[in-house]
Structure 1
Amino acid sequence: MLVYHLPGTFETREAQLDLLWEAGATGLEERAGTIRVYFDDRADLAPEVSDGEWRQEADQDWLAEFKANLRPVHAGRVTIVPPWLTGEVPAGQVALIIEPGMAFGTGHHATTRMAVEALGELELSGRTVLDVGTGSGVLAIAAALLGAGHARGLDIDPITIPIAWENAEINGVPQGRVSFAEGSLGLDSDAPEPACDVLVANLYAELHDLLAGEYAVTLRPGGPLILTGILGSKLALVSEALEREGFSQLQVRQDGEWVLLTARAPQG
């Protein structure tokens, strides 16, 4: 089996993981500070991920090993688990079942976990929630399971949409309570997103900066905003963008190098 050993972890190399899938990777695994990338054949890699080492190794069932090492993730009121670990969800916890795959969002990343925790601290009963950059749908599905009247997920990558629908079906969330679509805020002025009560987005800091005005327009006055995917070194960029657009009550949580920022939409 052909394995490419890349220094780093899923967290430190998150921005480059899609480049590996695009190069033809058949699987990714993190072990002791190294990302093991499985390929059928040697591939030409982008410069951002070319600092690793190719190795020919004995065949093994990497998927079985990955499943054996995956553990439930506790995120406030929610426990995120793959389908084969549903029996390990503690009593009283909301079970969020996510099938790991190419659309990252198993809950193991700090940004996903913090966002699910923040959603669990809100009263979502009957409210509309918009998840921008939904990926595997984990945040929209979490909102629906936590009582949202309707949760909508948007993503510019069309490959994520069927995966998100599959995850919603696995969790038994009816289509009337959740929906997913290709797109983003501000890309189609002829069909703007309707106003929502809560907006959550797990994106890079630069995208939050770019979309801050759209967040203000889309959220109802005073509505909660939950932003993550932000490196601590980029926090000021996002904070200043939100303050510029009139957001208030900014609060910061940090887990390692990653930050979650909550705020309230302008009051009119």
Structure 2
Amino acid sequence: MSNTIYIEYNFSVTPLQPGSDILIAELGEVGFESFVENEEGVLAYIQQDDWNENILETVEILENELFKVNFTLKEIEQENWNATWEKNFEAIQVADQCVVRAPFHEKPNVQYDIVIEPKMSFGTGHHETTHMMLQFILENDFEGKSVLDMGSGTGVLAILAAMKNADHIDAIDIDNWCYLNAKENVERNNCGHISVYEGDSSLLGTQKYDTVLANINRNILLADIPVYAENLKENGTLFLSGFYEEDIPLISETCLKSGLKFEKNLQKNNWVAVKYVF
């Protein structure tokens, strides 16, 4: 694979919350794919091939008088990404059962110890959406279940499902770097029964799953919910995240049209994760 060039934006945001959350959501809509939150704001990354000088024109928070957002930008080569993460990445704990950490962190005394080398992939557990999806996995039974992780990023959700004794797991991401990174992380965590694929929901065919996990963004979810429903077994479960509390009615309406009923949601800041049942 050629050495991809990324553009790094260093945003300072005041007030930090909910400013950083809003900024990340809006940047995700225009093609930014990875984020590191810090005490000043957000580092955001987009591939140079997807970037143009007008990329921020539709990012509304930049014109919102309630927030002050400043930024600088620079090029960063993919090979320097690990150094960026080592500087910014702290281990995170979900409930008292699960820790997501990098290889350079000390091994914790928890039931589920997930080791992630994030590189350019989303899904370390730091963002609210990933954290809540991990929480949902901890709360629910995955014993012997077949699982699909759509938009798998680092593979962290698939890995926790495997640690909770899911039987067959497919992890799919459209980004080549995420695909390669998830394969590395699956191997690192000795989860040999996770199959990792590069692509989107068009790969699914007629495969049926007990559980579908999709932590992506609102617009992709709205387009793909009917596909997820087609690939769920009877009495299957769909866990969704990547959107705000105010988006729940629209997401739920789309799910209902596909025969899925709202059961429960989690909330962290203004982000939500929602459980639907077939």
TM-score, scaled relative to structure 1: 0.79
Please give the secondary structure, in 2, of the residue aligned with 1:96.
Answer: strand
Q: CA contact under 8 A between 1:116 and 1:142: conserved in structure 2?
A: yes
Which residue does the alignment assign to 1:81? 101
Please give the secondary structure, in 2, of the residue aligned with 1:221.
Answer: strand
Structure 1 position 216 matched with structure 2 position 237:
no
Which residue does the alignment assign to 1:98? 116
Deviations along 1:76-115, one digit per CA (max 9) or x if unpaired, are 432111111142x2x3420011112211111101100110
Please give the secondary structure, in 1, of the residue aligned with 2:235.
Answer: coil
Q: Whose strand proportion is higher, 1 or 2?
A: 2
CA gap 1:37/1:118 in 2 versus in 1, 3 angstroms: closer
CA gap 1:147/1:121 in 2 versus in 1, 3 angstroms: same
In the aligned structure 1, how far is the partner of 2:181 from the partner of 2:85? 19
In the aligned structure 2, how far is the partner of 1:20 from the partner of 1:153? 21
Structure 1 position 35 matched with structure 2 position 45:
no
Which residue does the alignment assign to 2:56? 47
Structure 1 position 70 matched with structure 2 position 79:
no
Deviations along 1:214-258, one digit per CA (max 9) or x if unpaired, are 121111011111101111221111011111221124212111110
Deviates more, 1:122-131 or 1:63-72: 63-72
Which residue does the alignment assign to 2:199? 183
CA gap 1:239/1:155 in 2 versus in 1, 3 angstroms: same
| TM superposition shift of 1:264 | 0.6
Q: CA contact under 8 A between 1:74 and 1:80: conserved in structure 2?
A: yes
CA gap 1:239/1:36 in 2 versus in 1, 3 angstroms: closer
In the aligned structure 2, how far is the partner of 1:147 from the partner of 1:83? 23
Deviations along 1:174-223, one digit per CA (max 9) or x if unpaired, are 2xx101112222x26xx605101111000112222212211211110111
Deviates more, 1:5-14 or 1:199-208: 5-14
Deviations along 1:131-152, one digit per CA (max 9) or x if unpaired, are 0111111111111112111211
In the aligned structure 2, how far is the partner of 1:17 from the partner of 1:166? 24
**Percentage of pairs with the same residue:** 28
Which residue does the alignment assign to 2:48? none
Please give the secondary structure, in 2, of the residue aligned with 1:117.
Answer: helix
Amino acid at match of 1:67: E
In the aligned structure 2, how far is the partner of 1:192 from the partner of 1:65? 38
Q: CA contact under 8 A between 2:81 and 2:120: conserved in structure 1?
A: no
Please give the secondary structure, in 1, of the residue aligned with 2:176.
Answer: coil
Amino acid at match of 1:107: G
Segments of 5+ residues of structure 1 without an aligned counterpart are none
Match of 2:138 among 120, 136, 139: 120
Aligned-pair Cα RMSD in Å: 3.2
Please give the secondary structure, in 1, of the residue aligned with 2:234.
Answer: coil
Structure 1 position 13 matched with structure 2 position 32:
no
Segments of 5+ residues of structure 2 without an aligned counterpart are 1-6, 14-18, 46-51, 63-68, 75-79
